[in-house]
Amino acid sequence: MPSHTKSTARLGDRVFSNLSKGSGIALLAIMAAIAVFLAIRAVVAIRANEGNFLTTFAWDANADPPYFGIAVLLFGTVVSSVIAMVLAVPVAVGIALFISHYAPRRLAAGIGYVVDLLAAVPSIIYGLWGALYLVPQLTGLYEWLDQFFGWTGVFAYDGTPARSLMTVGILLAIMILPIITSVTREVFLQTPKANQEAALALGATRWEVVRMTVLPFGRSGVISASMLGLGRALGETMAVATVLSPSFLINASLLESGGGTFAQNIASQFKEAGSMGRDALIASGLVLFLLTLLVNGAARLIIARRKEYSGANA
């Protein structure tokens, strides 16, 4: 009897297979379309640019000839996001650990709910709160920083309303806290119980259990969560545009007003921009796009480096 090795695919299988294949291709196509669109328009603007796209401290893209550069935007975006990460990640990991391993169950549920709620607040609300409440509140802190660390230049402060990169960084930290916390919490909760019990049975205290099992197991998850947060910080528009008092110069002090970010600059200049002005903004958008890709790639590298030790193949 001849054996039939070829299996006949069922209709449902074929439909589902094609659907998922189609979704995957659509995603790649959309990504490519965005990249191509950004690249074509960016090239037009960069060709016409009279200034140096990377080093010029100005944004006169509507002038003829246009004269603009992204140095200030790149600096402002990176610095405000780094400040946000430095402030938010440790706090988020702390909150996540408290929810997953320390708080009584009811309290944990309550805090988890509040954290998720924070993520649902629209960014313009954060912007208004930041501009109207946070800015005046920070004056005291900045004066203190100026008194003790002002000599470094980085923390010099002149007493004007603090619509600065530091304020933006603090606000961004609050905004990205919920996403980092909730992803980190989920990862921590998935630490295998068997490993936590193994640590307990060796005579580990609660903190030692966390250090031996939860943190190493959740390491790649914390990195991924941080990257999600960083992505949001890099691209945050309305809150930054509302709080920051922009100017095209790089201020040595992080506490004094001035500077700008890619997204904020696009939002504030788009309305008055002519055709060339729009293309110039798109060119800056392309740089932000590349920056995000770079950051994500770096995060993947970090995660992959110790893959065989991750909890995934336990």
Partner 1 sequence: MAKRIDVQGLTAYYGSHKAIEGITLQVEPRSVTAFIGPSGCGKSTFLRTLNRMHEVTPGGRVEGRVLLDEEDLYGPGVDPVSVRRTVGMVFQRPNPFPTMSIYDNVAAGLKLNGIKYRKSELDDIVEKNLRGANLWNEVKDRLNKPGSGLSGGQQQRLCIARATAVEPEVLLMDEPCSALDPISTLAIEDLIDKMKAQFTIVIVTHNMQQAARVSDRTAFFNLSAIGEPGRLIEVDGTEKIFSNPSVQATEDYISGRFG
Site for partner 1 in 108-137 (CB under 8 A): none
212 binds partner 1 (CB under 8 A): yes
Closest separation in Å from C-beta 208 to partner 1: 5
Considering only 44, 87, 141, 219, the residue that binds partner 1 (CB under 8 A) is 219
b/e code 93-125 from CB counts within 10 Å (16+ = b): bebbbebbbebeeeebeebbeebeebeeeebee
223 binds partner 1 (CB under 8 A): no
Question: In this structure, what token pair is assigned to residue 18?
Answer: 């094609």
Q: Which residue bears the tokens 């988020």?
A: 92
Considering only 6, 10, 105, 271, the residue that binds partner 1 (CB under 8 A) is 105
**Residue 259: left if φ>0, alpha if ψ -120 to 50, beta else—which one?**
left
Given the complex with partner 1, which of 219 and 278 has the nearer CB atom? Answer: 219
Closest separation in Å from C-beta 36 to partner 1: 42
Given the complex with partner 1, which of 105 and 271 has the nearer CB atom? Answer: 105
Given the complex with partner 1, which of 112 and 285 has the nearer CB atom? Answer: 112
Residue 238 neighbours by CB under 8 Å, 6+ apart: 123, 124, 127, 267
- Give the dihedral sign, CA 188/189/194/198: positive
Closest separation in Å from C-beta 21 to partner 1: 33
Considering only 217, 248, 262, 289, the residue that binds partner 1 (CB under 8 A) is 217
- As a dihedral over the C-alpha atoms of residue 294, residue 299, residue 304, residue 309, rounded to 10 degrees, the angle is 170
Closest separation in Å from C-beta 99 to partner 1: 15
Closest separation in Å from C-beta 89 to partner 1: 20
Q: How far apart are the first and last CA of the chain?
A: 45
Closest residue by Cα to residue 89 from 288, 228, 269, 234: 228
Site for partner 1 in 189-208 (CB under 8 A): 192, 194-195, 197-205, 208
Question: In this structure, what token pair is assigned to residue 292?
Answer: 């995000």
Given the complex with partner 1, which of 144 and 309 has the nearer CB atom? Answer: 309
Closest separation in Å from C-beta 182 to partner 1: 22
Give residue 146's identity as a one-letter amino acid code.
Answer: D
Distance CA 259, CA 251 (A): 7
106 binds partner 1 (CB under 8 A): no
Given the complex with partner 1, which of 272 and 308 has the nearer CB atom? Answer: 308
64 binds partner 1 (CB under 8 A): no
Distance CA 175, CA 123 (A): 8
The length of the chain, given as a count of residues: 314
Closest separation in Å from C-beta 91 to partner 1: 24
Find out whether 134 and 167 touch, Cβ atoms under 8 Å.
yes
Rounded to the nearest 5°, which phi and psi values hold at 5?
-90, -25
Given the complex with partner 1, which of 35 and 204 has the nearer CB atom? Answer: 204
Closest residue by Cα to residue 96 from 116, 121, 120, 81: 116
Closest separation in Å from C-beta 199 to partner 1: 7
309 binds partner 1 (CB under 8 A): yes
The residues of the shown chain that bind partner 1, judged by CB under 8 A, are: 105, 192, 194-195, 197-205, 208, 212-213, 216-217, 219, 308-311, 313-314
